[in-house]
């Protein structure tokens, strides 16, 4: 299906923050990154976002079908701008994630996209990992490892993704491959932008706290945060993963003014990140942050204060933090098409390194 050697892959990501679809090109052979290419973004309209939000937490039914149609149409619109892509990696929209129970659901059909775009599409990346006993998430760590090697990093480093949920990849780029023992540890840190965004929408009619301005005006409830960090999730040995709304009940207990609630929810992200550090195989000197959370100056400052680390956006490594997850699924699409592992015991908890994904042509 693919020519040997490097190919241009197009990846797409629609995250749990429900902002829109990122699309990005990567030249890769599934091991090395040779070049980063063009990118594009297609925002969801308010109406589209509400259709998707109505399906969150559901596994089937009319709401899920309606969300799939929105997701597919939005992806087709933005991905059609890249006729040069040899292969497409389509993550879909996560609606429900319960790896110990019903599994994981990313709505949207790769077959629909392949038929519309006339290119092979790799999709349903997570199900094989869950079926093999893994958490099915996070899946970006193998790409993070390739990025660190591309950037010529020479020591262990941590890449923190702050989307709807937070996840971190600790990695040692001196290893030969991401599935090598000791190369990677990855896990979800806790809630990230999703609770703040939901609060802003409910109380202010805004999609997010721009720059962390409202949080900066408030005072975090330290008593609540001390109780919050005692949740058994934070002590659980990784790898481990979360659904977007796993902490919804706990965080609903936050009360006060808009600014104080926003400050507490934002500080909760930082507290969760700090709780992740003891799980690292060896300490790191800095955190490189990707995802929308890195644009929140108040959050970045809180993370630095509560971890004691140097905290920088991934642009400090020469990467594009807005497109990193889309680029990851471009990279993973090539790995999947060539039968290479996408996850390993210390990224998702799967017993052995496994590949995954379905290919529609």
For 35-63, what is each residue's pLDDT tens digit? 999 999 999 999 999 999 999 999 999 99
Q: In degrees to the nearest 10, what's the CA dihedral of 221, 222, 227, 233?
A: 100
Q: Which domain holds residue 345?
A: 7-138+321-360
Whether the predicted pLDDT of 1 surpasses 80:
no
Whether 132 and 158 map to the same domain: the answer is no
Whether 271 and 334 map to the same domain: the answer is no
Q: pLDDT tens across 230-275, in order?
A: 999 999 999 888 888 888 888 988 999 999 999 999 999 999 999 9
Q: pLDDT tens across 195-239, in order?
A: 999 999 999 999 899 999 999 999 999 999 999 999 999 999 998
Residue 325: its pLDDT value, please?
Answer: 92
Q: What is the pTM of this model?
A: 0.91
Q: How far is CA 338 from CA 10, 27, 71, 88, in A?
A: 16, 15, 27, 14
Residue 282 located in a structural domain: yes
Cα-Cα-Cα-Cα dihedral sign, residues 208, 209, 210, 212: negative
Whether 258 and 334 map to the same domain: the answer is no
**CATH number where 349 lies:** 3.30.420.40
Residue 17: its pLDDT value, please?
Answer: 78
Residue 358: its pLDDT value, please?
Answer: 97
Whether 29 and 158 map to the same domain: the answer is no
**What is the percentage of the chain residues whose pLDDT exceeds 70?**
100
Q: pLDDT tens across 285-323, in order?
A: 999 999 889 999 999 999 999 999 999 999 999 999 999
Could you give the number of structural domains in the chain?
A: 2
Residue 15: its pLDDT value, please?
Answer: 85
Instruction: Select the more confidently predicted residue: 164 or 200.
Output: 200
């Amino acid at each position: 299906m693919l020519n040997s050697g490097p190919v241009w892959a197009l990846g797409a990501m629609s995250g749990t923050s429900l902002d829109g679809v990122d699309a990005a090109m990567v030249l890769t052979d599934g091991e090395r990154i040779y070049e980063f290419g063009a990118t594009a973004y297609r925002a969801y309209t308010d109406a589209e976002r509400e259709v998707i939000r109505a399906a969150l937490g559901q596994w089937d039914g009319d709401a899920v079908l309606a969300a799939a149609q929105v997701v597919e149409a939005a992806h087709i619109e933005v991905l059609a701008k890249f006729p040069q892509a040899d292969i497409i990696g389509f993550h879909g929209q996560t609606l429900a994630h319960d790896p110990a129970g019903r599994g994981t659901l990313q709505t949207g059909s790769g077959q629909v996209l392949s038929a519309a775009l006339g290119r092979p599409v790799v999709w349903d990346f997570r199900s094989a990992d869950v079926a093999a006993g893994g958490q099915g998430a996070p899946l970006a760590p193998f790409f993070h490892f390739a990025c660190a090697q591309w950037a010529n990093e020479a020591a262990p480093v941590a890449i923190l993704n702050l989307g709807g949920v937070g996840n971190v990849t600790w990695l040692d780029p001196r290893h030969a491959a991401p599935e090598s023992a000791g190369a990677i540890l990855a896990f979800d840190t806790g809630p990230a932008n999703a609770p703040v965004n939901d609060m802003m929408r409910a109380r202010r009619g805004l999609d997010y706290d721009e720059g962390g301005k409202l949080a900066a005006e408030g005072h975090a409830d330290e008593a609540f945060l001390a109780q919050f960090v005692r949740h058994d999730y934070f002590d659980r040995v990784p790898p481990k993963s979360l659904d977007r709304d796993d902490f919804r009940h706990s965080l609903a207990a936050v009360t006060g003014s808009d600014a104080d609630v926003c400050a507490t929810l934002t500080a909760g992200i930082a507290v969760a990140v700090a709780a992740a550090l003891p799980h690292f195989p060896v300490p790191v000197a800095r955190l490189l942050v990707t995802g929308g959370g890195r644009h929140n100056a108040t959050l970045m400052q809180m993370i630095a204060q509560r971890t004691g680390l140097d905290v920088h956006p991934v642009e400090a490594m020469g990467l594009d933090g807005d497109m990193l997850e889309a680029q990851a699924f471009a990279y993973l699409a090539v790995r999947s098409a060539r039968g290479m592992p996408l996850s390993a015991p210390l990224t998702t908890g799967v017993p052995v390194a496994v590949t995954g994904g379905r290919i529609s042509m």
